[in-house]
Amino acid sequence: MRTSRHLSLVLLVCTFCFRCGNQSSAGSGNSSPPSPDAGTDAGAAGNPDAGNGNGGPADAGSGIPMRTLRITRSGPGTVRSSPAGIDCGGACIASFPQGTSVALSASPDGSATFSGWGGACAGTSGCTIVLSADADVSAAFTGAVVSDECSAIRPPPVGPPGGRHTMQAGGDCQAGVSDGNGTLALGVDNVIPVSNSMLHFVSPAGDLLAAYPGTNASLTGQLSGFEGQVFTGIGQERYLLRTWDASGHAIAETPPFPDGPQMITENPLGGIVIWRFSATPAVIESYDEHLNLRWRVNQPGVDPGAFAVDRAGRTLILFGGSLREKLLDGMWIDEHGTAGPVFHLGPQDAFAHQLGLQLTQRVQDGLFLQTGGKWTGQFDSLARAASAPPAWLESRPDTRLHMVHGGTGYAVLSSAGGAGRCAQAVEVVAPSGTSCGTVAFPNASDSCSFATGSVGYDGTAMVASSKVTDGCANSGTCTCTWQWWPGFFR
């Protein structure tokens, strides 16, 4: 999950504002098809009238309602859709505009056979559905299940990088982001002054496609292109949302928001969800990949903790109801924007914004919970209570997760690099917890310092590093270098 990098800077300010301002609770209030590997480590002007104010379903900015197609699969095989969106295996739910004709195909694994469709489809041949409403389809496969669950996700040896890119700017070198085409977004961020920031879009081969001096952005990779938040400088109306295409061209943006900072996370069904916790009232908003507002829900409580969208398109927010008691609450919002009831997670050792909470997507659906670097729980999709984390994850503190190989496994990245200062170690783990192997991606810098690894939307492995030439301070210059291995975990 990518969240705004400015949160830690602003929370000190926000805490003061919360204590001095109105502390009463607010009232109740990812479409492009998803990539199988959407899901990160670790959630144009929209239509202000989209959403019904209480979290009910809402049309996209085009006025065409979105309909959800959900696949239930049993046995060894894969279901795919045309247009793209379903790849189940991993991506078993997708949203399409109402009236879309979706063709489904079933591919058995190995010597298995396809037994037939159920739900909105029937028979054993191909199936085409015109989505006039949400639809559910089941697909059954029979045959021997592959005994080696690592056979399709075991990482190969790491070869030479497929590309390298260097830039100089007065700020911090950020982890790389890639979209479904393999285009990379590489940035150097600075808050004061923003003019020292830099954003480059680079092809998989390393060709510079577009450059944006003075742009400080928190981006998410999309099926084609990027979507994220841009910090424009200190003062009022300093945040806006922007989208870029796969060539790095800015194609849409919102007007600047009149309130303060916000958190941002990807939606695996396409688009982003933002948490405007400084707005009055605080709201959670979902945007499609063209920045059309899908829905808006008022946030209960006043103290932001963490939020993320699971692979079924459902958003979980964790928050404190007040700044007088150290209590943690939660609320789910389904893929249509319908808010569920607030549920209570009990007393905590600190206020919500001080707990170091992170939510990260699980395979299929649901979310893992991390507290202060330790994996402390998990939520089934729409569940109102957390359960214990799986033992394999609990034994790997201070790590980040990303989906790999069509959402069928996890890339586990150590927050400290894990292979010394000169490389980023990535372990591939099956959903059962079986370790399928560890590989190390070398640092691009001779200084072997500040290596930051990431896995992109298309499975590209990236390592960012910096060579400190003048303190890397506001008045200094950082040389940031990235190298990458295109589609390594595709």
pLDDT band of residue 5 (cuts 50, 70, 90) is very low
Q: Give the pLDDT of residue 288.
A: 95
Sign of CA dihedral 433, 436, 437, 441: negative
> Does 246 have pLDDT greater than 90?
yes
Q: Give the pLDDT of residue 450.
A: 56
Mean pLDDT of 205-215: 93
Looking at the DSSP bridge assignments, the partners of residue 184 are 178, 202
> Does 184 have pLDDT greater than 70?
yes
Rounded CA-CA distance 249/211 in Å is 9
Mean pLDDT of 318-326: 89
Q: Give the pLDDT of residue 62.
A: 58
pLDDT band of residue 251 (cuts 50, 70, 90) is very high
Q: Give the pLDDT of residue 193.
A: 73
Q: Give the pLDDT of residue 135.
A: 93
Lowest mean pLDDT among 122-126, 135-139, 170-174, 212-216: 170-174
Mean pLDDT of 361-376: 96
pLDDT in tens, 402-444: 999 988 999 999 875 544 557 889 999 999 999 999 999 988 7
> Does 241 have pLDDT greater than 70?
yes
Backbone angles phi, psi at 106, to 5 degrees: -115, 130
Looking at domain 7-29+45-50+153-485, its CATH class is mainly beta
Domain boundaries, given as residue ranges, for the chain: 7-29+45-50+153-485, 66-142
> Does 458 have pLDDT greater than 90?
yes
Lowest mean pLDDT among 188-197, 362-371, 450-459, 479-488: 188-197
pLDDT in tens, 49-88: 333 333 333 343 457 889 999 999 988 889 999 999 898 8
Mean pLDDT of 265-281: 92
Tokens of 327: 């209590």
Q: Give the pLDDT of residue 147.
A: 64
Rounded CA-CA distance 256/268 in Å is 25
Q: Give the pLDDT of residue 226.
A: 97
Q: Give the pLDDT of residue 454.
A: 93
Q: Give the pLDDT of residue 204.
A: 97
CB 478 within 8 A of CB 170: yes
Q: Give the pLDDT of residue 312.
A: 95
Instruction: Give the percent of the chain with pLDDT over 90.
Output: 59
pLDDT band of residue 313 (cuts 50, 70, 90) is very high
Q: Give the pLDDT of residue 42.
A: 40
pLDDT band of residue 23 (cuts 50, 70, 90) is very low
Quote the mean pLDDT of the chain: 83
> Does 355 have pLDDT greater than 90?
yes
pLDDT band of residue 472 (cuts 50, 70, 90) is low
Q: Give the pLDDT of residue 197.
A: 85
Q: Give the pLDDT of residue 157.
A: 94
pLDDT in tens, 370-400: 999 999 999 999 999 999 999 999 999 999 9
Mean pLDDT of 133-158: 87
Is pTM beyond 0.75? Reply is: no
